Homo-oligomer: A and B are copies of this chain.
Amino acid sequence: MLRTHTCGELRLDNVGDEVILTGWVQRLRDKGGMLWIDLRDRYGITQLTLEEGITAPALLDQARNLGREYVVRVIGKVVERYSRNEKIPTGDIEIFPHKIEVLNASKLPPFLIEDETDGGDDLRMKYRYLDLRRNTVRHNLELRHRMMRETRSFLDSHYFIEVETPVLIKSTPEGARDFVVPSRMNPGEFYALPQSPQTFKQLLMVSGFDRYYQIVKCFRDEDLRADRQPEFTQIDCEMSFVKQEDILNAFEAFIAHLFEKIKGIHLGKLPRLTYADAMRYYGSDKPDTRFDMRFVELNPLVKDKGFKVFDDAELVVGINARGAAYYTRKQLDELTDFVKRPQIGATGLVYARVNEDGTIKSSVDKFYTAEDLQEWASAFGAQPGDLLLILAGQKDKTRKALNELRLEMGERLGLRDKNVFSPLWVIDFPLLEWDEDSKRFHAMHHPFTSPKPEDIELIDDRPGDIRANAYDMVINGVEVGGGSIRIHDRRLQEQMFRLLGFSHAEAEKQFGFLMSAFEYGAPPHGGIAFGFDRLCSLFGGSDSIRDFIAFPKNNSGRDVMIDAPSTISGEQLDELHIRMKNVPHS
Query: Which residues from chain A sit less than 8 Å from chain B, CB to CB?
Result: 1-3, 22-24, 40-43, 69-71, 73, 103-107, 109, 127-130, 132-133, 138, 141-142, 144-145, 148-149, 152, 156, 161-171, 173, 177-193, 199-200, 203-204, 206-210, 217, 219, 221, 223-224, 230-231, 233, 240-243, 246, 488-489, 509, 513, 517-524, 549-551, 553, 556-559, 561-569, 572-584, 586
Instruction: Write the chain B residue with the least CB distance to A576.
Output: B180
Chain B residues whose C-beta falls within 8 Å of the C-beta of A71 in the assembled complex: 521-523
Q: Are A550 and B165 in contact (CB under 8 A)?
A: yes
Q: Are B180 and A181 in contact (CB under 8 A)?
A: yes
Q: Are B132 and A145 in contact (CB under 8 A)?
A: no
Chain B residues whose C-beta falls within 8 Å of the C-beta of A578 in the assembled complex: 182, 578-581
10 of the cross-chain contacts (CB-CB < 8 Å) are A3-B241, A104-B488, A149-B152, A167-B193, A167-B217, A168-B179, A177-B184, A181-B565, A190-B568, A200-B550
Q: How far is the CA of A556 from the CA of B166 in the complex (A)?
A: 15
Q: Are B558 and A186 in contact (CB under 8 A)?
A: yes
Chain B residues whose C-beta falls within 8 Å of the C-beta of A204 in the assembled complex: 129, 132, 550
Chain B residues whose C-beta falls within 8 Å of the C-beta of A553 in the assembled complex: 166, 168
A552 → B minimal CB distance (Å): 8
Q: Are A191 and B141 in contact (CB under 8 A)?
A: no
A185 → B minimal CB distance (Å): 5
Instruction: Write the chain B residue with the least CB distance to A141.
Output: B163
Instruction: Write the chain B residue with the least CB distance to A23.
Output: B208
Give the most central of A142, A179, A569, A582: most B CB within 10 Å.
A179
Q: Are A189 and B566 in contact (CB under 8 A)?
A: yes
Per a CB cutoff under 8 Å, which of B130, B167, B187, B223 touches A583? B187
Q: How far is the CA of A171 from the CA of B161 in the complex (A)?
A: 34
Q: How far is the CA of A35 from the CA of B167 in the complex (A)?
A: 45
Q: How far is the CA of A167 from the CA of B168 in the complex (A)?
A: 12
Q: How far is the CA of A109 from the CA of B40 in the complex (A)?
A: 62
Q: How far is the CA of A568 from the CA of B577 in the complex (A)?
A: 14
Q: How far is the CA of A233 from the CA of B572 in the complex (A)?
A: 24
Chain B residues whose C-beta falls within 8 Å of the C-beta of A190 in the assembled complex: 565-568
Q: Are A181 and B179 in contact (CB under 8 A)?
A: yes
Assess A559 versus B166: contact at CB under 8 Å? Given A129-B203, A188-B583, A208-B41.
yes
Q: Are A168 and B564 in contact (CB under 8 A)?
A: yes
Chain B residues whose C-beta falls within 8 Å of the C-beta of A583 in the assembled complex: 187-188, 577
Assess A165 versus B551: contact at CB under 8 Å? Given A104-B523, A180-B182, A564-B170.
yes
Chain B residues whose C-beta falls within 8 Å of the C-beta of A170 in the assembled complex: 559, 562-566
Q: How far is the CA of A156 from the CA of B148 in the complex (A)?
A: 11
Q: Are B163 and A145 in contact (CB under 8 A)?
A: yes
Q: Are B565 and A189 in contact (CB under 8 A)?
A: yes
Per a CB cutoff under 8 Å, which of B182, B562, B568 touches A199? B562
Chain B residues whose C-beta falls within 8 Å of the C-beta of A185 in the assembled complex: 223-224, 556-557
Q: Beyond the given A69-B520, A129-B517, could you list 17 further A-B residue pairs with CB under 8 A, ordered by the A residue number?
A: A1-B246, A22-B241, A24-B521, A42-B210, A138-B209, A141-B163, A149-B152, A164-B550, A166-B553, A169-B559, A180-B568, A182-B182, A185-B223, A190-B566, A191-B564, A509-B566, A578-B581
Q: Are A208 and B523 in contact (CB under 8 A)?
A: no
Q: How far is the CA of A366 from the CA of B148 in the complex (A)?
A: 72
Assess A69 versus B2: contact at CB under 8 Å? Given A188-B586, A231-B167.
no
Per a CB cutoff under 8 Å, which of B161, B520, B521, B576 touches A142? B161
Q: Are A42 and B209 in contact (CB under 8 A)?
A: yes
Q: Are A579 and B581 in contact (CB under 8 A)?
A: yes
Give the most central of A246, A572, A577: most B CB within 10 Å.
A572
Per a CB cutoff under 8 Å, which of B221, B246, B572 touches A180? B572
Instruction: Write the chain B residue with the least CB distance to A551.
Output: B166
Chain B residues whose C-beta falls within 8 Å of the C-beta of A73 in the assembled complex: 241
Instruction: Write the chain B residue with the least CB distance to A575.
Output: B177
